[in-house]
Copies of this chain bind each other. A is one copy, B any other.
Amino acid sequence: MVNVAILGFGTVGSGVAEVLTGHEDSISRKVDDFVRLKYILDVRDFPDSPYAGCFVKDFSVIESDPEVDVVVETIGGATVALDFTRRALKAGKSVVTSNKELVAEYGYELLMLAKEYNVNYLFEASVGGGIPIIHPLSQCLAANNILEIYGILNGTTNYILTRMIRAGLSFDTALKEAQERGYAERDPSADTEGHDACRKICILAAIAFGRHIYPRQVPTEGITRITLADVDYADAAGRKIKLLGRAIRQEDGRICAYVAPHLVNNENPLAGVEDVFNGITVRGDAIGDVMFYGRGAGKLPTASAVVADVIDAAKHIGSRKLMDWAPGGEDTTRSPDTLRSRWYVRASCTNDMMRAMLGDVLPLARRGAAENEAACITADEMTRTQLGIRLQNIPVLSVIRVLD
């Protein structure tokens, strides 16, 4: 018998309980042992819940019960969740989580702790919701040197951008719609400012490149400054504006990691990733590009990823999955300002002025453009710093990196 405790009975936690008990037979068959939900930790009371007999309010009940093999942490944040995760690992229990904040900030420490106590710390659900990405990246692509990983990592912002592109809504209106549909929080800044995507690219980069990358090392720009004018010009260029998290291995071994909007070519499969869906592309030296696509959030998709990890943990009790990375440091990353690319530029000037500053460009047009407005994509690749120098005498309205 494998006993499971869930910490936190919110959306994900209740989804985990539902998937775990609803698929009891097939899960037990896969583990080759009976998997039982023994405890749910929550401060609230749920007298009418079908799991009413499982609830406890004191973590030490779980911590001190030697029968508990796997702890599922769906509390979120990096305070109580950190404390409970440390204590669970030290008590010899494997921990499974969907908590991206905790993994992005404390992943290295917690993986080392898991190693020390010969248990596993698994977090497939922390990136891409239900999409299998952590596991394929660490195992199925093990025969590759990963060159780059990038993707649409946040469903809320992708929904907003999709509505701007397809329905012509402004950012504010699209955000409001996303809030009404439950896709965005009342305070949407963690999504719209890119922080959620930032945590996820940190986790992906650590697995792909083998060193911890902290969110504070990853320059992060959200989508709040994207306008319908930009959306229209991108469309004229056969491209879509997408918020991407990106991590690229540089020749010196450092990682260039950042979050920013990009103009993505319509022929790139990521351009077709719409609404709340996520898409993540991995570029390996042997495999070329592979993309993983699916629902990046939601109760049951996320629970599905958590429970897959529970199954994995249950199959590996007393043995270790080889998943870890080296500690972080100030020498691991490199600023994206040094990364060359083409650029989309919109400014209050004429096409001639744009050309005078930027040299050869692809001029873009849109219906209803303001009189003194020009937009283009540069013909040459250059760094953000080089671009800034060329643009210093132009009243710039938007600058967005082009993904080629």
Contacts and interface: CB of A to CB of B under 8 A. Distances in A.
Interface of A: 19-20, 23, 26-27, 30, 32, 124, 130-132, 135-136, 139-145, 267, 269, 272-274, 284-295, 298, 300-301, 303-308, 310-312, 315, 322
A315 B323 CA distance: 13
Contacts of A19: 143, 286
A32 to B, nearest CB: 6
A22 to B, nearest CB: 8
A296 to B, nearest CB: 11
Q: From A132, A273, A322, name the one whose CB has the most chain B CB atoms within 10 angstroms.
A: A132
A135 B139 contact: yes
> Number of copies of this chain in the oligomer?
2
B287 A322 contact: no
A308 B269 contact: no
Nearest to A273: B269
A322 B32 contact: yes
B293 A130 contact: no
Contact of A132 (B290, B293, B322): B290
A122 to B, nearest CB: 11
Nearest to A303: B286
Nearest to A129: B287
Contacts of A289: 294-295
Contact of A269 (B141, B272, B300): B272
B269 A307 contact: no
